[in-house]
Amino acid sequence: MSEIYLELTRDGSHTLVNPGLDEGYHAFAGAFTESVYVYIEKGLATHPINNNVKILEVGFGTGLNAALSYQHCQQAGAELYFHTLEPFPISAQLAAKLNYPEFLEDAGKQVFNALHQAPWQQQTDITSDFRLYKDETLLTKATLPEGHFDLVYFDAFAPKKQPSVWTMENLEQCHRALKVGGMLVSYCANGQFKRNLKALGFKLEQCEGPMGRKEMTRAIKL
């Protein structure tokens, strides 16, 4: 099987490409730009920040969302607990080749390499105000506390490439794990995905997509 490889996107930042799925980990129009827009500007930055933010991520991938989230929380004076699911982690050697530290601000730069060096299946204090739990498992097999998280980043490969991740069962897991008023954000605006979220009781908010794309998904648990 072909190995995952680096590719430069149009904003100058790297993404990774999974040849088995013929799919990139980020938008080829701009990996860094997409992550900042979807998960920070239209996600974390729009949600009321308390002293301790708890985020669940479906798809750790390159670790970029985690670094950006810590960067934002530090600037806001909030502690961060980040629980990320990734059944197929990349190697630390491949992660070290990613050029995201060139784009991150100081807080993000300081933690990026530590994210990939942290062990799996145990909580790691990356800093005094950033706790990370890397969970090497599928969402269907994850044990998640009910009503615990402020946000869910749903950042799996696209539904047409990995349909088993976008099932109602998985979305129910996310719904249970979120606090009332919690937010789910995703780059994906697939019609069935949005209908399933509505059926679970999420309120969908209209949200323009990144880099000229018509739409992304932002949903609130009622």
Q: What does the pLDDT read at residue 1?
A: 53
Instruction: Identify whether the C-beta of residue 124 lies closer than 8 Å to the C-beta of residue 84.
Output: no
Percentage of residues in the chain with pLDDT exceeding 70? 100
- Residue 175: how many CB atoms within 10 A of its CB? 20
Q: What does the pLDDT read at residue 203?
A: 98
Sheet harboring 23-24: ordered strands across?
5-8, 14-18, 23-24
**Which of the four pLDDT bands, split at 50, 70 and 90, describes residue 183?**
very high
Indicate the burial class of 111 (C-beta count within 10 angstroms; 0-12, 13-18, 19 or more).
buried
Query: How long, in residues, is the chain?
Result: 222
Average pLDDT over residues 203-211: 95
List, for residues 65-107, the tens digit of each pLDDT value. Answer: 999 999 999 999 999 999 999 999 999 899 999 999 999 999 9
Instruction: Identify whether the C-beta of residue 109 lies closer than 8 Å to the C-beta of residue 101.
Output: yes
List, for residues 110-156, the tens digit of each pLDDT value. Answer: 999 999 999 999 999 999 999 999 999 999 999 999 999 999 999 99
**Which of the four pLDDT bands, split at 50, 70 and 90, describes residue 50?**
confident
Average pLDDT over residues 186-198: 97
Quote the mean pLDDT of the chain: 96
Question: What letters, b where the CB count within 10 A reaches 16 and e where it falls short, cover 11-38?
Answer: bebbbbbbeeeeebbbbeebbbbbbbbb
Tell me, letter by letter, the H, E, C secondary structure of the chain: CCCCEEEECCCCCEEEEECCCCEECCCCCCHHHHHHHHHHHCCHHHCCCCCEEEEEEECCCCCHHHHHHHHHHHHHCCEEEEEEECCCCCCHHHHCCCCHHHCCCHHHHHHHHHHHHCCECCEEEEECCEEEEEECCCHHHCCCCCCCEEEEEECCCCCCCCHHHHCHHHHHHHHHHEEEEEEEEECCCCHHHHHHHHHCCEEEECCCCHHHCCCCEEEEEC
Q: What does the pLDDT read at residue 39?
A: 98
List, for residues 144-160, the tens digit of each pLDDT value. Answer: 999 999 999 999 999 99
**Which of the four pLDDT bands, split at 50, 70 and 90, describes residue 48?**
confident
The CA distance from 188 to 102, in Å, is: 27
Instruction: Identify whether the C-beta of residue 144 lies closer than 8 Å to the C-beta of residue 177.
Output: yes
Q: What does the pLDDT read at residue 208?
A: 96
